């Protein structure tokens, strides 16, 4: 498996809140409230500078976004932990959390993974822009941009500006185990706690 190159953030403050390929299906998106928690330290156990980035890189269930229209998406399971996802050889992948959203304050973002393993953060929808909440990289606070580098995203996460909106939800209060877009993508999903609509109808 191709190893993704990951830059390390040097400051620490976390924010949290709301392919193995398989067939996609149409689903709806949902938002949750933002919560800010305690800071995370940069160390051998958490080299990413924030808990948000650690969870994204190592644990978060991600889906491959293939199409979206009027809040309905077609997606396929991508894997768990961004660093574990193998890029496609024939073009970029757009990835989103299976549950909740990645948000730069008021701007929801997706992840673009190119065939050479480069990671950038892009607006959630084509018509959007990412409003940068603080000076980061060569960008200034208030600037509206079309992409953020991984290093810039790490800095925002360390400052509590990039968050995962589902991070304090679910059976375990960790954001894992939620049905999300495709329930079977999350290995911690338990239908007894969060039955899907189809399971409720059975």
Which pLDDT tens digit goes with each residue over 16-49? 333 333 333 333 333 333 343 444 445 556 688 8
93 or 49: which carries more pLDDT confidence? 93
Q: Residue 28: what pLDDT? A: 35
Using CA atoms, how far apart are residues 51 and 39, in angstroms rounded to an integer?
8
**Structure-token pair, residue 135:** 């000076």
Q: What are phi and psi of 53, to 5 degrees?
A: -70, -35
Closest by CA to 130, choosing from 113, 118, 147, is 147
Domain ranges of the chain: 25-201
| Beta carbons of 130 and 145 less than 8 angstroms apart | yes
For the residues 99-119, what does the mean pLDDT come to? 96
191 or 135: which carries more pLDDT confidence? 135
**Structure-token pair, residue 75:** 């997606």
Write out 164-195 in H/E/C secondary structure.
ECCCCCCCCCCCCCCCCCCHHHCCCCCCCCCC
Using CA atoms, how far apart are residues 11 and 18, in angstroms rounded to an integer?
23
Using CA atoms, how far apart are residues 83 and 146, in angstroms rounded to an integer?
23
Q: Residue 72: what pLDDT? A: 82
Which pLDDT tens digit goes with each residue over 129-188? 999 999 999 999 999 999 999 999 999 999 999 999 999 998 889 999 999 999 999 999
Number of H helices, E strands in the chain: 3, 11
| Beta carbons of 170 and 63 less than 8 angstroms apart | no
84 or 45: which carries more pLDDT confidence? 84
Task: Kindly report the pTM of this predicted structure.
Answer: 0.74
């Amino acid at each position: 498996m191709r190893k993704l190159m990951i830059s390390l953030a040097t400051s620490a403050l976390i924010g949290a809140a709301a392919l193995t390929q398989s067939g996609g299906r149409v689903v709806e998106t949902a938002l949750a409230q933002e919560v800010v928690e305690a800071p995370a330290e940069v160390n051998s156990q958490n080299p990413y500078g924030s808990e948000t980035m650690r969870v994204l890189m190592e644990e978060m269930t991600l889906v491959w976004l293939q199409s979206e229209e009027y809040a309905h998406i077609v997606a396929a399971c991508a894997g768990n932990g961004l660093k574990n996802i193998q890029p496609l050889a024939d073009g970029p992948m757009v990835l989103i959390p299976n549950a909740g959203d990645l948000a730069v304050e008021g701007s929801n973002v997706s992840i673009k993974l190119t065939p050479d393993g480069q990671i950038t953060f892009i607006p959630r929808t084509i018509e959007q822009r990412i409003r940068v909440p603080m000076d980061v990289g060569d960008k200034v606070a208030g600037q509206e941009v079309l992409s953020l580098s991984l290093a810039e995203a790490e800095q925002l996460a360390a400052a509590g500006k990039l968050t995962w909106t589902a991070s304090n939800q679910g059976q375990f209060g960790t954001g894992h185990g939620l049905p999300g877009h495709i329930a079977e993508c999350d290995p911690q999903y338990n239908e007894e706690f969060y039955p899907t609509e189809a399971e409720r109808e059975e």
